[in-house]
Amino acid sequence: HRIPVYYDDKCDKTIAAKYWARVGSFYHDKLRHDDYAVTSHLEAIKLDDRHAPAHAGLAVIYRKQQKWGDLAAAMEAHAHIEADVDKKIDLYLELGDLHETQLASTARAIESYEKALAADASNQDALAALERLYRRDELWGRLAHVIEKRADMIEGSDPARAGQLRKDLAQLRSEKLGDIEGAISRYEAAVLANAGDTEALRELERLYDKAGRLDDYFSVLERLADAGADAERASLWRRLAAEVED
């Protein structure tokens, strides 16, 4: 039988919402009557849409019933009103995964991960998920922003990895965004961090030539010649001499 809940219309709605949520939990936990539980939690939310336990109670039931669309709506509503930042981030991360794996909505998944990142700009899980989805959907501008953010975050703790990320970013700007100067600045940053980075120097050689920056082009050829093995050094100096003569 349905448990009746009585309250005066004049009573505080937040108090009434708490009672409805408790009734919903009782229906679910003790009586195993999920339809009544859902109705009770919805009544709680109608009275107080910021009552987090009611949103959480709905999510538990919808997850068990595998009602993924309803679950997504419940989690979104909960995340929107959740005051605890860590819980809010976890909800948005879970929601992103739900959209990606169960609802096949990359756009909504991205939106959820971006909201997690808005709550914590250094959240590695959100950054990794966004990097993966941006790359998959060829959202190159957004991907560039995420890669640069990750490089900045680990500059002090892992400069080698940061340098590799900056080279990845430079390649992305050059090949996908057509941003030659942006690519050059990232390769220059990689060389500044590691003067012996011949991979970055070779890319700078190519890009300086493409951009018509002849002084920089000759300068980087000299650096490559100085850094190369004997055979390569001799070849580069001959090439540099020929370029200067031309």
184 Cβ neighbours under 8 A, 6+ residues apart: 170, 204, 207, 208, 211, 213
C-beta atoms surrounding 181 within 10 Å: 11
- Taking the C-alpha atoms of residue 189 and residue 196, their distance in angstroms, rounded to an integer, is 12
The percentage of residues in the chain with a pLDDT greater than 70, rounded to a whole number, is 87
Residues 147-202 have pLDDT tens digits of 999 999 998 899 889 889 999 999 999 999 999 999 999 999 888 888 888 899 99
Which pLDDT score is estimated for 236? 60
How many angstroms from the chain centroid is the CA of residue 176?
A: 20
Q: Tell me which residue has tokens 């005051």.
A: 83
Q: Is the pTM of this model over 0.95?
A: no
Question: Are 18 and 51 contacting, i.e. CB atoms less than 8 angstroms apart?
Answer: yes
Q: How many CB atoms lie within 10 A of CB 46?
A: 14
Model confidence pLDDT, tens digit, residues 225-243: 776 555 555 566 566 656 6
Give the closest residue to 204 by CA, choosing from 179, 229, 185, 176.
Answer: 185
Answer yes or no: are the C-beta atoms of 106 and 137 closer than 8 Å.
yes
Q: Say whether pLDDT at 74 is over 50.
A: yes
User: What sign for the dihedral angle of Cα 92, 94, 95, 101?
Assistant: positive
Average pLDDT over residues 34-52: 95
Q: How far apart are CA 74 and CA 37, in angstroms?
A: 14
Per the prediction, the chain carries an average pLDDT of: 89
d(CA 208, CA 202): 10
